[in-house]
Amino acid sequence: MIDLHGIFPPLPTSFNKDESLSTEHIRKNIETLNRYGLSGYLILGSNGELVMLSHEEKIRVMEAAREAIPREKLMLAGTGCESTRETILLSREAARAGADAVMVLNPFYYKGQMSQAALVSHYHTVADASAVPVIIYNMPANTGLDMTAADISAIADHPNIIGLKDSGGNLAKMAGIIHNTKKGFQVLAGSAGFLLPALTIGAVGGILALANIAPQNCLDIYHSFVEGKMDRAQKLQQEIVSLNAAVTRNWGVPALKAAMDHLGMYGGPCRRPLQPISEEVKKKLLQLL
């Protein structure tokens, strides 16, 4: 069993000005973040622009990241693809590249056909074939498909499926999943905007875009909760709401990369069709940093 307690940044994928992959900057960003007490990293999540990369590029990103991630920190790798076959292939490549677990976004292109039976079949087949544990990823804002608590509970009923990253933000649903899944199933908040509320209902940590640019703030919320300092945790949670919204719901990955550039890390460009934030938006963003 892999322990998912703590805070994980979903690392953006670094591109040069011509949008070619920059593994050097990926490694340097990880080396910067290694100074903090993070539990590990998610590579190739939504913030990692997974859908913008070729199969070969995904492998290069995972290999470069593992070189920079200390062995005592976990490397989680996003491997969700539209077909079960391709998801298995990428999950096997992730294990070979040194991933400790894979995080699998549900297929969504044929969302009208994604019945509970189809989703269970997909995830269980991937879990059977994966050499490392599988984490479910529910991201309705990007997929347009919000898996139900019943769907997730049925998927979780597999020995090699160990947890869930839920970015939906429905705390009642999250509580139901925590209550109804097997002992040891670990739920992670998918946004710093509801980190503390998720912890209070049994989540074990978070995979948080904000942890790329404000890792200590996220860690302080987590540790304040663990230490029972709820007044401090609530105050810290309230302080990060606006900045978190800026780099998630409001302006997304381009804003996150702009913030990284401003803070001395490497953000760089996104791959088109994603566009850089405007100067007006950048001014608003920098006021929050």
Q: 208: closest CA among 176, 165, 153? A: 165
Tokens of 193: 């905007």
150-162 per-residue burial string, b: 16 or more CB within 10 A, e: under 16: ebbbbbbebebbb
User: What is the H or E stretch that residue 217 is in?
Assistant: helix 215-226
CA angle at residue 247 from 24 to 9, to 5 degrees?
A: 50
Q: In the block, which residue shows the tokens 């290999």?
A: 63
Q: 248: closest CA among 180, 129, 168? A: 168
Q: Residues 162, 2: contact at Cβ < 8 Å?
A: yes
Q: Residues 50, 94: contact at Cβ < 8 Å?
A: no
User: Residue 2, by phi and psi: left (phi above 0), alpha (psi -120 to 50) or beta?
Assistant: beta
For residue 222, give Cα distances in angstroms to 38, 97, 175, 192.
Answer: 11, 29, 18, 10
Is the peptide bond between 273 and the residue preceding it cis, with omega within 30 degrees of 0?
yes
From 165, 229, 235, 283, active-site residue: 165
**165 tagged catalytic:** yes
Q: Residues 231, 205: contact at Cβ < 8 Å?
A: no
Q: Residues 5, 204: contact at Cβ < 8 Å?
A: yes
**Residues labelled as active-site residues:** 165
